[in-house]
A and B are shown apart, each in its own frame.
Chain A
Amino acid sequence: MSTMPVIGQLTDIQARPRRIWTQSISWVLFLVGIFIYTQFSVVRHKENPEDRVVPSGVQLWNGIKASVLEPAEEDDALDAGATTVQRVTHSMVWKDSVSSSRRFFMAIVLLIPAILIGLHMAVFPYVEALLLRFVLFLDKIVALSLLPILFIAFGIDEWSKIMLMVIGVGPTLMLDTYNIAKSVPREQVVKAFTLKSSNLDVAYRVILKQILPQVINSVRLNLKPLALFLFAGEMIVSSDGLAYRIGIMRRHMGMDIIIPYILWVAVLLFGVDALLRFVNRRLHPWF
Chain B
Amino acid sequence: MNALSFVSKRLAPAINRLVPVKTAIGKGPCIGFLVCLLLAIAQAPEAKAAAPTFTVGWSVYAGWNPYYYMARSGILKRWADKYGIVIKVQRFDYAASLDAFVGKNIDACTMTNMEALDMPAAAGIDSTALIVGDYSNGNDAVLARNNLTLAQLPGKRIMLVQKTVSEYLLERAMDINGLSGQISQLRLMNTSDSDLVGAFLGNQGNQVTVTWKPLVSQILAQGGSVKPIFDSSKIPGEILDLLVVRTDVLQRPDGSGQRFAKAITGAWYETVAQLAGGPGADQAINGSAAASGDSVASYKEQLRTTYLFSTPKMAVDFAESPTIKQKMDLVRQFCFRHQLLGQNISSVDDVAIRYPDSTVQGNSQRVRLRFDSSFMKLAQQGKL
Question: Across the interface, do B39 and A253 meet the contact criterion of CB distance under 8 Å?
Answer: no
Task: State the CA gap A170–B202 with chains docked (Å).
Answer: 25
Q: Which residues of B contact A74 (CB under 8 A)?
A: 188
CA distance A235 to B42 in the complex (A): 29
A152 vs B22: C-alpha distance when bound (angstroms): 59
User: Nearest chain B CB to A215's CB is how many angstroms away?
Assistant: 32
Say whether B164 contacts A73, CB under 8 Å: no
Given A39-B42, A66-B343, A252-B340, is A52 in contact with B124 using a C-beta cutoff of 8 Å?
yes
Q: How far is the CB of A56 from chain B (nearest CB, A)?
A: 11
What residues on A are CB-neighbors of B344 within 8 Å? 59, 62, 256
Query: Quick one: which of A49, A156, A252, A253 contacts B189, CB cutoff 8 A?
Result: A156
Please name the residue on chain B nearest to A247 by beta carbon. B190
Closest to B43 in A: A43
Q: How far is the CB of B176 from chain A (nearest CB, A)?
A: 23
User: Would A251 and B31 count as touching, CB distance under 8 A?
Assistant: no
CB-CB under 8 A from B102, the residues of chain A are 52-53, 253
Given A53-B123, A63-B343, A155-B205, A148-B34 contact (CB < 8 Å): no
Question: Does chain B have a CB within 8 A of A238?
Answer: yes
8 A Cβ contacts from A40-78 to B? 40, 43, 48-53, 59, 62-63, 66, 73-74
Is the Cβ of A251 less than 8 Å from the Cβ of B123? Answer: no
Segment touching A, from B61-69, B72-80, B139-147, B192-200: B192-200
How many A-B residue pairs lie within 8 Å, measured between CB atoms?
121
* Stretch touching chain B among A16-24, A28-36, A114-122, A131-139: A28-36
B184-229 residues at the A interface, CB under 8 angstroms: 187-192, 194-195, 198-199, 202-203, 205-206
Interface residues of B in 213-260 (CB under 8 A from A): none
Q: Report whether A32 and B31 are in contact in the complex, using a CB–CB cutoff of 8 Å.
A: yes
B338 touches A73 (CB 8 A): yes
Let me know if B173 is at the binding interface, CB within 8 A.
no
Encoded as 1 (CB less than 8 Å from any A CB) or 0, chain B from 40 to 54 comes to 001100100000000
A52/B159 in contact, CB under 8 A: no
* A244 interfacial by beta-carbon distance below 8 Å: yes
A90 to B128, CA, bound (A): 39
In the complex, B342 has a CB within 8 A of chain A? yes
- A237: B residues at CB distance < 8 A: 159, 189-192, 195, 199
Tell me whether A251 and B195 are in contact (CB under 8 A): no
Cβ of B107 within 8 Å of any chain A Cβ, yes or no, is no
User: A152–B34 contact, CB under 8 A?
Assistant: no
| Nearest CB in chain A: distance from B268 CB, A | 27
**What CA separation (Å) do A36 and B38 show in the bound complex?**
8
B95 in contact (CB, < 8 A): yes
What residue of chain A has the Cβ atom nearest to residue B27's Cβ?
A7
- Pair A251/B34 contact, Cβ less than 8 Å: no
Name, among A32, A35, A53, A237, the residue most crowded by chain B CB atoms within 10 Å (CB to CB). Answer: A237
Q: Which residue of A lies closest to B366 (CB)?
A: A50
- A267 an interface residue at 8 Å Cβ cutoff? no
Known: A11-B22, A66-B343, A237-B189. Contact between A251 and B203, CB under 8 A?
no
Instruction: Please measure, in the bound complex, the distance between the C-alpha atom of A28 and the C-alpha atom of B35, giving whole angstroms.
Output: 11
| Tier of interface size on chain B | 35 or more
| B190, A239: Cβ atoms closer than 8 Å | yes
Alpha-carbon separation in the docked complex, A11 to B159 (Å): 58
CB-CB contacts below 8 Å: A217-274 with B: 235-239, 244, 247-248, 250-254, 256-257
Tell me, yes or no, whether B26 is within 8 Å of chain A by CB.
Answer: yes
- Bound-state Cα–Cα, A35 to B38, Å: 11
Chain B residues, Cβ within 8 Å of A152: 198, 202-203
Question: Which residue from chain A places its CB closest to the CB of B195 in the assembled complex?
Answer: A236
Complex Cα distance, B124 from A253, in Å, reads 11
Give the nearest-CB partner of B192 in chain A: A236
| Contact of A28 with B338 at beta-carbon distance under 8 Å, contacts A10-B26, A253-B119 already known | no
Indicate which residue in B123, B202, B205, B343 contacts A257 across the interface (CB closer than 8 Å).
Answer: B343
Question: Which chain B residues numbered 309 to 347 have a C-beta less than 8 Å away from chain A?
Answer: 338-344
* A250→B95 contact, CB < 8 A: yes
By a CB distance below 8 angstroms, the chain A residues around B132 are none
A50: chain B residues at CB < 8 Å are 122-124, 342
Q: Say yes or no: is B156 at the interface (Cβ < 8 Å to chain A).
A: no
A238 touches B189 (CB 8 A): yes
Q: Is A32 in contact with B35, judged by CB distance below 8 angstroms?
A: yes
Contact B38 A248 (CB under 8 A): no
In the assembled complex, A147 has its CB within 8 A of some CB on chain B: yes
Give 14 new A-B contacts, CB below 8 A, not counting A39-B39, A244-B190.
A11-B25, A11-B26, A36-B35, A43-B42, A51-B124, A151-B198, A155-B203, A156-B189, A156-B199, A156-B206, A237-B189, A239-B188, A251-B164, A253-B99
Question: Could you pull out 13 A-B pairs where Cβ atoms are within 8 angstroms?
Answer: A35-B35, A50-B122, A66-B343, A148-B198, A151-B203, A156-B199, A248-B163, A251-B164, A252-B122, A252-B163, A252-B341, A252-B342, A257-B343
Q: Which 9 pairs of residues, A with B, have the shortest CB-CB distance?
A: A50-B124, A152-B202, A148-B198, A52-B123, A251-B163, A237-B191, A236-B192, A252-B340, A151-B199
Interface residues of A (CB under 8 A from B): 7-8, 10-11, 28, 32, 35-36, 39-40, 43, 48-53, 59, 62-63, 66, 73-74, 147-148, 151-152, 155-156, 235-239, 244, 247-248, 250-254, 256-257
Residues of B whose CB lies within 8 Å of any CB of A are: 22, 25-27, 31, 34-35, 38-39, 42-43, 46, 95, 99, 102-103, 118-119, 122-125, 159, 162-164, 187-192, 194-195, 198-199, 202-203, 205-206, 338-344
